[in-house]
Structure 1
Amino acid sequence: MRGAHLLHLTLLVSIVSVCYNMSHGETYNVANSMMTCKYKFQNKLFKMCVFLQIEARSADGETLDGPYSVVLQVVDVNNNPPVFSENQYSGRVREHSPAGVPFMQAFATDADDPNTLNAQLRFSIVNQIPNPGKVFYFGINPDNAEIFITEEGAEFLRARPTVRYSRGEVHGSPEVLKKKFEDYCIPRNNIPLENNPFYTCIERAERREVNLLQDPDYALIVRAEDLGGGAPNALSSTTRVNIAIIQNLWVRPGPITIRENLEEEYPMYLTTVRANDPTALYRLVQKERLSFPFTINQNGEIYVIAPLDREEKNMYTLVVMAEDEQGVELEKPMEIHVRVEDENDNPPVCDEAVFEVQENEPIGNPIGVLPAHDSDEEGTLNSFLDYTLLSQMPPKPFGKMFTINQDNGEIKVANKYFQRKEVPQYVLTFSVTDGVHTTECKAIIKVIDINNEIPVFEKKDYGTHSVPELAEVGTTLLTIKATDADDPGTGSSKVEYHITAGDPHNLFAIEVNEATGEGRVYIARPLDYELQNVFSLQIDARNPEPLIEGVEYNENATTFVVIQLVDVDELPEFEADTLNVNVPENITVGTIIMTAEAKDPEGKTIKFKMEGDEHNWLELDADSGELKTKAALDRETVEKISLTIIAYETEGDKQEAEMKVDIHLLDVNDNYPKLQKTQGFICIQDMTPLTLTAVDKDADPYGEPFTFSINRKSPNFEIKPLDGTSVQLILKKKPSSDLNATVPINIKDNAGMGITQKFDVRICNCTKLGYCYIEPGAHSWKLGMSGTIGILAGIFGFLILFLIILFYRIKKNGQQSAAAPEETKAMI
Structure 2
Amino acid sequence: HLSAMCQNLGDLHVTGPLKDMNFSIPEGGAVRFIYQFTSEPPAVSFRATGEKDGIIDIVPRTGILFLNGSLDWETKAVHRLQVESLDEKGNTVKGPYTVTIYVEDINDNPPEFDQIMYTGVVRQNSRPGKPFMYIHATDRDDPTTPHAQLTYSILHHFPNPYKEMLFQIDNVTGAISPSKMGSYYLDPQKQDTFTLVVTVKDMAGMTANAFTSSADVIITVKESLWKAPPTIRIQENSTQVYPVNISQVCPWPQALHLSLVPQKKQSRLPFSIDQSGVIYVTEPLDREKKDTYAFFVVTKDNTGELVDKPLHIHIIVEDINDNPPVCQQAVTVIEVQENEGAGSNIGTLIATDMDEENTLNSRLRFKIESQVPPVPASNLFFIQQDTGILQLTSRSLNKRIASNYSLKVLVSDGVFQTICDVQVHVIDINDQIPIFEKSDYHNVTVAESLPVGTVILEIQATDGDEPGTGSSYIIYQMKEGDPNNTFIIVTDSETNRGFVKTNKALDFEATPVYNLVISATNPEPLVLGVQYNSSSLTLFKVFVTNVDEPPVFHKTVYKGEVFEDIPVNTLVMTVEAYDPEGDTVRYSLKGDVRKWLRIDSATGQIYTASTLDREQEEMYTVEVVASELTQKSKATFILHLSDVNDNPPLLAMDYPPFFCHPLSGGERAFIQADDADEQLWYSTFTFSLADDVNTRNNWEITKANATHAYLSPKHVNFEEKVYNVPVIINDNGKPPLERKVNLEVNICKCSSEKSCFIEVQREHSWPSTGQAIGILLGVLLIIGKSLFLGLYEKKQKREDLMVVYHDYIS
Determine if the TM-score, normalized by the shorter chain, exceeds 0.5: no
Identify the TM-score tier after normalising by the shorter chain: 0.3 to 0.5
Q: Which has the bigger relative contact order, CA under 8 A and spacing at least 6? A: 1
| Structure index of larger Rg | 2
TM-score normalized with structure 1 length: 0.40
What's the TM-score, normalizing by structure 2? 0.41
